[in-house]
Structure 1
Amino acid sequence: MATGTRVASLDDVPERGSYLFTAADRHATDREVILVRCDEEPGVRAWINTCPHEFQRLDRGRGAAMRDGEIICPKHGSMFDACSGECDNGEAAGTTLPAVEVAVEDGEVFLADDDYTFRHEGGIDDGGGPSSTSHLSF
């Protein structure tokens, strides 16, 4: 049996795009987290919903832009591998998305990271999440 709080059904995580939820870190600060599909086991990965280059949201409430297994930063177009979180191009080259551990069992995704506590599905309600300005269109 998977330990941790159920976050979503695996079916809730789109093949292209992301599933957004909010979790509190060990300092009780709410953080937006995205679930994205990954070709490696367990089939999804979870990342803090910000580009490490600038404090920009990857998923602004409509799903993160993705192409060929990579998450695209909407501000500069840097692309992060959905499985490793690593970026090797653009303004964010050499950075890695901060990971949040999840587990999948019987088609359900569980928050398995002891550093985070599940709050709710969706983004941070108070508007205190990272900003996002973009000149890119997809």
Structure 2
Amino acid sequence: MISSNKTKGFTLVELLIVIVVIAILAAISIAAYNGVSNKARDGERLASARDIINAAAVYNSEKGHWPTIAELGSFNTIKLSDQIKNRLGTTTPIPSDRSKYKYELCGTAPGFTGAKVTYWKEVTDGHETHEKTVSSGSGC
């Protein structure tokens, strides 16, 4: 009589290897997700800055002068969202408050020649600054 002692299952070493591989994959995906989130926020801020500048340019073409923040906020041809209006100001965005947009008129009063919006960019390649500007008109 020959008895067979074959047991089925995984050894402890095999299970540990699988757990380590899963942990490594999880760490890689979490790091990649954080980078994607930062880039998405940067894209949203760039789009909002362009919306502000486009609204200012349309205002200038309709009214004949570049708008102040108050005029831009009440402009009805191109309505900015309340979220963008609330983040629009005259102070430069800083790391602790990345959601703000600085709106400036270019040139000298009363004949302003353009407008620019400065926003904070989280992801840089090391050769650029975190402050980014979108402008329209001349003199910016």
TM-score category (smaller protein):
under 0.3
User: Which of structures 1 and 2 has the larger relative contact order (alpha carbons within 8 angstroms, sep 6+)?
Assistant: 1
Give the strand-richer structure, 1 or 2.
Answer: 1
TM-score, structure 2 normalization: 0.26
Which of these two proteins has the greater Rg computed from alpha carbons? 2
TM-score, structure 1 normalization: 0.26
Give the helix-richer structure, 1 or 2.
Answer: 2
